[in-house]
Structures are given as structure tokens and as C-alpha cells.
């Protein structure tokens, strides 16, 4: 019998691509999503892209234990991938309670329901933002953690909860994946990132400039201690992130307990390098102006991707050109995102 994976936040950017990857590898996939920051249309796109339907999808908030418990009662869940969370750094500063409630209390509710139904295998969506303002890169899983905003605190707090739960419940198997900067889209152009309102993140903003929805990019500072002065990040293709989750599910039984892994490429790219690459991929120059630094931004965050490579014999395969090309294809085919 194929394994059934329950994916919370399955209609979101990373969740939807991961569902396609799981379906393509024969898994049965159940989605739970409250759609506060995702379009229900994404669920149709998942089925269309994968050429196979989801086993089921439920509009449920993970904090609603009774509703969540009914979902677990209706399916024989073998593993859970937990994406459902708020994820905007700036918003988390304005709405810290909302962030703790959804991200931390939501994870606790999910754990309680998993426990009630005898489900012990979990892949958790964490973030490289737990490292904060890193002294030096690349960052290994042993680099010091120092969150600088409520969002990053919630992710680290969830990791701590999971680690402690694993220390006391011998049957638990949890892998926390600290992603660097997921970008790009499914190569079909059917699935991609569909931010509501003005994008916070660099790649979707650049894509909207290229398609003519926005006049120019603001580059947040060119006086960082990096080669060209602009911020350096480890951009990772969302299809590699999705593949990483599927591989993680395959490795859940390697050992019991809690483990944390970086999910990045190990390559740093500056804002101006990304702008140039996107201009090349789209054939459209990206107008930009340099403005002040964005409060809370750090100079450079780049992964040491060696741990997953050693543990799973797996590495990312898609480069910056593929990230820009696929993001641009999605933007062109869906200039206003998924119809809402
Ligand atoms: N940037 C610009 N102009 C923009 C947007 C971004 O110059 O309009 C720059 C930023 O200053 C930074 C780089 O582009 O140097 C990347 O910025 P993003 O907002 O795309 O990504 P961040 O690294 O700031 O943060 C992202 C997510 C967070 C997550 C973090 C690490 O937004 O949720 O990665 O996982 F926590």
C-alpha cells in the first residue's frame, strides 16, 4: 500500500510543490490548509501538474484540534509534513501574538492530534532565519542560533518543542529542515509563488517588475560587507526544496528522535547578481534604484549543505538560471497569480 502523507499548508508555495513531488512518487497526499495565505485554486493546479488527484483536502486551521482530529480519523496517516505557518518577518514584528499562536500553538495542536492517532513521523518546516545575523558563512547546523524577530523565534521555539518531545517520547521521529531562500516555480508554469499584495521577497518582486506590474525594484542597501555591497542569500529552487522534503520522508526511519538539517545550495548570490540573472532569463532589463537598508536585514546567509548530502546522499541540482527561468515562466503565464 502506498504511504499516506498529510501536508499542512499544502496549498502554499512550498507546500504545493511538495504535494506534486509526493504525488509523482506514488504517495497518497492529504492536504490541510486554512487558506489564510494560499489560494484554493492551487489545489486544482497540484492535481493538474501531477496528473493525479490529492487523496483529499480540508479547509482546516491546525489550531482547531477537533477538526484536525477528524481528518486524522478519516485517513491512515503514515507521516506528516508541517508547513502551515505565518512567514513574513516584517508582519511578525507587528503581529507577534498571532505568530506565536499560529506557529507555536499550531505545532503543539498538531503534535497532540498526531499523538492521539498514533502518528509519530514528522518533517517540520524551519528556517535559516534562526541563525540571525551570522558572524560568518557558510552556516552549518551547529552554527549558533540567534533569532532577531518573532517569526524566527517561533521557528526556533517549535524546534525546541519537537526536540524535547522526541527526548521523552521514544517513538517520535522528527526532521526539521531549515530552508534558506526558496524561489522559482514548477517548470510547467502551472504552479508558483502567488504573494498577496506587494511582495516582501526579492524574486517575486523582480518578476512583477519584469512583467510590468511594478515600475522598479528598490535594492535595500549597497553598503554591506559583500562583494558588490548588496545582500547575499542562498537561493534554492522550490523544486529542490520539494524534492528535499520527499527525500526527508524517505529517511524518517533512519533513526528515532529529532534531527535538524539545512536545506540550501551552498552558493551565495547578491541582489544585483539575481537582478542580472533575471534580466537575462526574461530578456527584460530590471530597472532598480538603491535605497536604504531594510531594518532587520543581514549581510549574508549561505548554507553549508554538507549534512544532508552526507546523510541522504542527496544534493540540490537546479541553478540560479533555472530558478529565474521557471519563476519567469510562471509570472508570464499567470501575470496576476492564481485567480482568487
Ligand atoms: N531585497 C531587496 N529588495 C526587495 C526585497 C528584498 O533588495 O524588494 C533584498 C533583501 O535586502 C535581501 C535579499 O533581497 O538582501 C533577499 O530578501 P528576501 O526578502 O527575498 O529574503 P530574506 O532573506 O530577507 O528572508 C526570507 C524570508 C523569510 C525567511 C528568510 C530565511 O522572507 O521569511 O528568508 O528563511 F525567514
- Ligand 1 centroid vs 166 CA: distance in angstroms? 32
- Ligand 1 centroid vs 171 CA: distance in angstroms? 37
Positions of the chain with pLDDT under 50: none
- Confirm or reject: Cβ of 202 under 6 Å from ligand 1: yes
Pocket test for ligand 1, best of 214, 271, 289 (most atoms within 8 A of CB): 271
Is 138 in contact with 86 (CB distance < 8 Å)? no
Nearest residue to 68 via CA among 19, 6, 124: 6
Q: Cell digits for 271?
A: 541582489
What's the confidence (pLDDT) of residue 133? 87
What's the confidence (pLDDT) of residue 36? 95
- Confirm or reject: Cβ of 129 under 6 Å from ligand 1: yes
- Confirm or reject: Cβ of 126 under 6 Å from ligand 1: no
What's the confidence (pLDDT) of residue 150? 96
Q: What is the pLDDT of residues 144-179, one digit of tens each?
A: 999 999 999 999 999 999 999 999 999 999 999 999
- Confirm or reject: Cβ of 271 under 6 Å from ligand 1: yes
Atom of ligand 1 nearest to the CA of 232: 15
Is 246 in contact with 288 (CB distance < 8 Å)? no
What's the confidence (pLDDT) of residue 176? 98
Q: Note the CATH number of domain 4-333.
A: 3.40.50.720
Cite the active site residues. Answer: 151
How many other C-beta atoms are found inside a 10 Å radius of the C-beta of residue 163? Answer: 16
Q: Give the separation between CA 79 and CA 124, rounded to whole angstroms.
A: 11
Q: Give the separation between CA 137 and CA 143, rounded to whole angstroms.
A: 9
- Confirm or reject: Cβ of 294 under 6 Å from ligand 1: yes
- Ligand 1 centroid vs 84 CA: distance in angstroms? 20
Atom of ligand 1 nearest to the CA of 88: 33
Three-class SS of the chain: CCCEEEEECCCCHHHHHHHHHHHHCCCEEEEEECCCCCCCHHHHHHHHHHCCCCCEEEECCCCCHHHHHHHHHHCCCCEEEECCCCCCHHHHHHCHHHHHHHHHHHHHHHHHHHHHCCCCEEEEEEEHHHHCCCCCCCECCCCCCCCCCHHHHHHHHHHHHHHHHHHHCCCCEEEEEEECEEECCCCCCCCCCCCCCCCCCHHHHHHHHHCCCCCCEEEECCCCCCCCCCCEECEEEHHHHHHHHHHHHHCHHHCCEEEEEEECCCCCEEHHHHHHHHHHHHCCCCCEEEECCCCCCCCEECECCHHHHHHHCCCCCCCHHHHHHHHHHHHHHCCCCCCC
- Ligand 1 centroid vs 86 CA: distance in angstroms? 15
Q: Give the separation between CA 190 and CA 188, rounded to whole angstroms.
A: 5
Torsion of CA 95, 101, 103, 107, to 10 degrees: 180
Indicate which residue's Cα is closest to atom 21 of ligand 1. 201
Indicate which residue's Cα is closest to atom 4 of ligand 1. 202
Atom of ligand 1 nearest to the CA of 200: 19
Indicate which residue's Cα is closest to atom 26 of ligand 1. 181
- Ligand 1 centroid vs 131 CA: distance in angstroms? 14
* CB neighbour burial string for 185-218, b if at least 16 within 10 angstroms, e if fewer: bbbebbbbbbbeeebebbbbbbbbbbbeebeebe
Please provide residue 300's backbone torsions phi and psi, each rounded to the nearest 5 degrees.
-150, 135
* Confidence (pTM): 0.97
Task: Using DSSP bridges, classify how beta strands 79-82 and 56-59 pair: parallel, antiparallel or unpaired.
Answer: unpaired
Amino acid at each position: 500500500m502506498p504511504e499516506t502523507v498529510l501536508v499542512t499548508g499544502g496549498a502554499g508555495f512550498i507546500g504545493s510543490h511538495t504535494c506534486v513531488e509526493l504525488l509523482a512518487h506514488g504517495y497518497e497526499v492529504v492536504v490541510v490548509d486554512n487558506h489564510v495565505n494560499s489560494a484554493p485554486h492551487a489545489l486544482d493546479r497540484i492535481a493538474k501538474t501531477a496528473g493525479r488527484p490529492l487523496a483529499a483536502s480540508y479547509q482546516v486551521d491546525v489550531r482547531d484540534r477537533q477538526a484536525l482530529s477528524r481528518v486524522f480519523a478519516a485517513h491512515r496517516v503514515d507521516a506528516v509534513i508541517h508547513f502551515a505557518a505565518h512567514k513574513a518577518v516584517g508582519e511578525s514584528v507587528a503581529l507577534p501574538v498571532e505568530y506565536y499562536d499560529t506557529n507555536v500553538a499550531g505545532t503543539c495542536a498538531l503534535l497532540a492530534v498526531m499523538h492521539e492517532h498514533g502518528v509519530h513521523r514528522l518533517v517540520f518546516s524551519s528556517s535559516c532565519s534562526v541563525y540571525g545575523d551570522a558572524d560568518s558563512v557558510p552556516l552549518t547546523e551547529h552554527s549558533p542560533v540567534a533569532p532577531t524577530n518573532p517569526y524566527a523565534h517561533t521557528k526556533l521555539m517549535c524546534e525546541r518543542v519537537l526536540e524535547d518531545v522526541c527526548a521523552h517520547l521514544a517513538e517520535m521521529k522528527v526532521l526539521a529542515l531549515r530552508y534558506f531562500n526558496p524561489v522559482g516555480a514548477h517548470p510547467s508554469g502551472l504552479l508558483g509563488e502567488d504573494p498577496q499584495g506587494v511582495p516582501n521577497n526579492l524574486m517575486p518582486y523582480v518578476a512583477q517588475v519584469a512583467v510590468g506590474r511594478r515600475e522598479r525594484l528598490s535594492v535595500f542597501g549597497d553598503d554591506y560587507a559583500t562583494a558588490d555591497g548588496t545582500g547575499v542569500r542562498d537561493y534554492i529552487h522550490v523544486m529542490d526544496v520539494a524534492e528535499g522534503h520527499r527525500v526527508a520522508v524517505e529517511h524518517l526511519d533512519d533513526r528515532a528522535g529529532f534531527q535538524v538539517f539545512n536545506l540550501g545550495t551552498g552558493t551565495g548570490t547578491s541582489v544585483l547578481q539575481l537582478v542580472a540573472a533575471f534580466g537575462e532569463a526574461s530578456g527584460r532589463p530590471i530597472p532598480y534604484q538603491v535605497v536604504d537598508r531594510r531594518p532587520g536585514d543581514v549581510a549574508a546567509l549561505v548554507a553549508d549543505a554538507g549534512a544532508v548530502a552526507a546523510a541522504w546522499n542527496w544534493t540540490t541540482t537546479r541553478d540560479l538560471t533555472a530558478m529565474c527561468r521557471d519563476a519567469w515562466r510562471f509570472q508570464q503565464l499567470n501575470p496576476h497569480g492564481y485567480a482568487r
